[in-house]
Amino acid sequence: MVEIVTYATHSHGLFERLYNNDLGIDVTVLGWGKKWNGLRDKPLGVLKYLEKLNDNSLVVFVDGFDSIINKPLSDIIELFTEMKKEKPNMRVLLSIEQCYNKQSNILIKWFFKYMQYKVYSCDNHTIVNSGLYMGYVKELKILLSEHLNNPNKNVDQILLNKIYWKYDFVEIDKENKMFYNCPVYMCVKGDACFTQYPGEFNFQRIKRAVTMDYNHCFRKEIAFMKVMLGLFLIYVSLKI
């Protein structure tokens, strides 16, 4: 069997649809009612939960606020088995990050491409998403244990992209068979077993990402904005 796991401190976004899904699939919720300290809470919460499971158990993690299940467990297991036949060493399957290159709006495409580069800067490595993944408990514990030495409470996906390629048991669902991360402003339903839709996209979310979650990635940009703001204030004061 396969177990579906999510991390959510409260109900928001698509959580109710995920938890009370039409397929009757049980979803184990971690972190409920706990204080949210940052993105690092998710992998550490999952890692702690995995200690209770058999090493050969198969677990799927999905983000709690923006993910839905499209197919029954039997289809999920069948697909994973088929993918494993093609790549026998696969013990963990990661989802590929949102495909911003498919955007038709040039400005949106450029903006998110720049954001991806600044945050992940993975060079020649494919950017993976930390909100959809699955695998056997033994290997998941190895992968997620990297977060035990992660000092940044607001980082999970950045760290995952820095370390996943070191493990030969990791494969990426590049064809979006198991997972489909729907790009921002392109809420298209694919044929994958799981779909992750873009979360609420607004100024406050961008502000939080730049100033809190990923501020260490945007130090130059933040410094530039401060200088420009200072110059603007000087200009205004001189005009007065």
| pLDDT tier at 54, thresholds 50, 70, 90 | very high
Tokens describing residue 1: 């069997």
Give the angle subtended at the CA of 174 by the CAs of 170 and 179, to the nearest 5°. 85
Q: What is the pLDDT of residues 55-67, one digit of tens each?
A: 999 999 999 999 9
Predicted confidence band at 216 (pLDDT cuts at 50, 70, 90)? low
pLDDT in tens, 138-169: 999 999 999 999 888 888 888 898 899 999 99
pLDDT of the residue at 182? 82
Whole-angstrom distance, CA of residue 119 vs CA of residue 158:
7
∠193-158-152 over CA atoms, to 5°? 125
For residue 62, the number of C-alpha atoms closer than 13 Å in the C-beta half-sphere is 29
